[in-house]
Structure 1
């Protein structure tokens, strides 16, 4: 599920193309993410964004200093530097409250994970001690602190969480 403002360029693009690429940066990429702050693909810049200081930037990969890599199942490229990237297609969208926000149901078709954050000896598990996702909280950028307690749920094999139909659909997409 993704929540986006109806007037956002991202929402417009997702409704038009019905596909997206979700790049999940690590906390080490905070500077690259921040270089995208106050940028939009819209030209002209919508009035509300103009008042907040936004400007049009066509080459966001160049602006951020990131490397575009071709995706396999969707048109948008992924950022090579992001430890996790997900190719997804739009299944449905729903207005929230007064319709100023849209909830998007997307189906992930491919997941890309850097080897250095995979759990040793596994092909489908992320090492939570190696993966440091970048988190935005109230417009501020954060990383993660240390683990506070071991979870029994983490002992369940990852394959038991995935329905067979989803795996087959991902293999043929």
Structure 2
């Protein structure tokens, strides 16, 4: 039997992306997000309007989409609930966000120079996609203060052991992406780490046994 619960959150499960961009002063910004989907060589990204990443992408018109494996979950969780924008909204403060200008250092990650864009890649991520912004649009829902970006992948960097030999295809058995499902971290179909984001968003999850 189906019910109509009036779902508050619709994050059924998408890969986590670490988006790297350049700040106005030339330093690097890094942000975890999971509102992303791909079609062909294009990707759609949904980002809050107050995020430093949004400000940087609107100005610089480029970014790198770094895809962490599930083994990197502790790194991603470490930089969750941080922002590169020093002007935190009351909502973000209530959720537990704090200003952090150097998230590469906080996550123990390494900046790796890109080849086509100014934003750095995350050296530890098995897949890195250099992108340029093709278009950006505000969400029409006045209660959704977000921007959706269409970006085009100009260059993809993939760890050699993830590529099927003799092809241009990623091995789906070898690639285990970090998935965010209703604000919780999953890999290989299992909950892999407690989520600070779920706490900040007050998600009513009961994952104590999975996280023990």
- TM-align CA RMSD: 1.3
Partner of 1:148: none
Matched, 1:77 2:120: yes
Q: Which has the larger radius of gyration?
A: 1
Matches within 5 A, 1:33-112: 33-98=76-141, 100-112=145-157
| Structure 1 position 57, deviation (Å) | 1.1
CA distance in 2, matches of 1:140, 1:94: 28
Q: Deviations over 1:20-71 (max 9, x none)?
A: 1100000000000000111111114332211211111111111111111001
CA distance in 1, matches of 2:153, 2:136: 15
Partner of 1:133: 177
CA distance in 1, matches of 2:81, 2:47: 17
Which stretch shows the higher mean deviation, 41-50 or 55-64? 41-50
Which of residues 151, 155, 164 in structure 2 aligns to 1:119? 164
Partner of 1:25: 68
CA distance in 1, matches of 2:149, 2:124: 26
What's the TM-score, normalizing by structure 1? 0.78
**Which structure: greater helix fraction?**
1
SS in structure 1 of the partner of residue 177 of structure 2: coil
Name stretches of at least 5 consecutive residues in structure 1 with no aligned partner: 146-173
Q: Stretches of 4+ moved more than 4 A in 1?
A: none
CA distance in 1, matches of 2:54, 2:74: 24
Q: Deviations over 1:49-102 (max 9, x none)?
A: 112111111111111111110011111111111111101111111222225222
Name stretches of at least 5 consecutive residues in structure 2 with no aligned partner: 1-43, 190-212
